[in-house]
Structure 1
């Protein structure tokens, strides 16, 4: 891995001939991630819920990087039917996928359920991406040196007691902050378990978090949190381009190892240079990772083409 004191998009190796699929690529972190990869020559599939916003994002990328190769794909991670349809369409168009970047997400939403009856944050942030990745994994495995990058959050530490398997969907007790924390913890546990299953293949699984990024994601925060966020923005957070750097380094730095977790190196990991960071003790509970995997397969109906390991 680079020992440079700073890492910027200029450090991204040439991506010509590579295909990247980025979820939530129409705005914020996803847009900046997609734009940087396209500028380096990758063919980027913008997997978005809103095609109009996606088309606008594609135009902006093409304007900023003439000759950029981008495509649109409708994807609503809160619907397993949409996830399956999107995966089918991507599979029909691509024999290989070099980078799958699971970036999209919702944050601090009021209690709601997905089309399939899952708690919205867990269903969108984790289960939607679990299903999407599983349905595309053979295409990822077919690309030498491919990576699955899943975006978590420092908010995974909100779930201090781990995954609430006894009330996974928040039916008995719902906290929008707690549910978000659980979904982001699940993103990390998914990455670690996936990496174990990928051993011996040419593919790795990596996680990243953006720190405190000034994006639209916080729009559903409780009023007090929004007020605190407004005060903290100039002091602690960075713009979306800065927040995308950990994902971009996880996706492209030649020295990255499977199972690593990238985030900013500044105060409280809120901003700064993208480096390897630590995740919570709960995220490293192997038994819980395996249990989450089994439950996720049962809930989504998606089975992965890589076996469990001892």
Structure 2
């Protein structure tokens, strides 16, 4: 089982297709339900429509993240791969949780999602020790864009900057050190 945030377009959609072709049951975690459905049904000849399940997820809402994780845990015992891919570019908007929209969606939301899914990732590590997915169980992949290169020079902190993903990886690595999970950051 693989969860991919922001999987209705671009890198997320291509990643979903690739994992589905490898035999994974892919959960498309998309903020906009209709866009997720459109992506899923875009081309019936593509594998992703046949091996995927759409689950709404808004990373700008802690309530949505918790609801997503609760729903996932009710349906599935384990998670092999979590791909944190979703990202937005927004300036100045504030979430219902009181954080800057871009920072919460691109960093804090993914951190909370990952933290809440660690038990499922650990279950995969134990469940798949002796089958074809054993080398891919308990994998966390954080993707980031290059948009931080285009931030105005007077911005002190840019939430899309790769250091956020690095910090997230370090935090996840510290929490799971010795437990068998692998965390990767790709820019």
TM-score > 0.5, shorter chain as reference:
yes
Deviation, structure 1 residue 183: 5.3
Q: Is the 8 A contact 1:155 1:181 kept in 2?
A: no
Which runs of 5 or more residues in structure 1 are unaligned?
1-18, 160-173, 210-310
Q: Deviations over 1:83-135 (max 9, x none)?
A: 1111111111110000000000112x221111211011111101111111111
Specify the alignment match of 2:34 in structure 1: 52
Aligned ranges for residues 1-310 of structure 1 at < 5 Å?
Answer: 19-60=1-42, 62-65=44-47, 68-107=50-89, 109-144=90-125, 145-155=137-147, 179-181=157-159, 184-209=162-187
Give the whole-Å Cα distance in 1 for the aligned partners of 2:76 and 2:98.
Answer: 31
Specify the alignment match of 1:256 in structure 2: none
Answer with 1 or 2: which has the greater Rg.
1
Deviation, structure 1 residue 151: 1.1
Q: Structure 2 vs 1, CA of residues 50 and 200 (structure 1 numbering), >3 Å: closer, same or farther? A: same
Give the whole-Å Cα distance in 2 for the aligned partners of 1:184 and 1:148.
Answer: 16
Which runs of 5 or more residues in structure 2 are unaligned?
126-136
Give the whole-Å Cα distance in 2 for the aligned partners of 1:67 and 1:181.
Answer: 32
Give the whole-Å Cα distance in 2 for the aligned partners of 1:93 and 1:58.
Answer: 20
> RMSD of aligned C-alpha atoms?
2.5
Q: Structure 2 vs 1, CA of residues 37 and 60 (structure 1 numbering), >3 Å: closer, same or farther? A: farther
Q: Structure 2 vs 1, CA of residues 125 and 155 (structure 1 numbering), >3 Å: closer, same or farther? A: same
Q: TM-score of the superposition, structure 1-length normalised?
A: 0.52
Q: Any idea what SS the aligned residue of 2:141 has?
A: strand
Q: TM-score of the superposition, structure 2-length normalised?
A: 0.84
Give the whole-Å Cα distance in 2 for the aligned partners of 1:46 and 1:195.
Answer: 25
- How many residues get paired? 176
Q: Structure 2 vs 1, CA of residues 175 and 105 (structure 1 numbering), >3 Å: closer, same or farther? A: farther
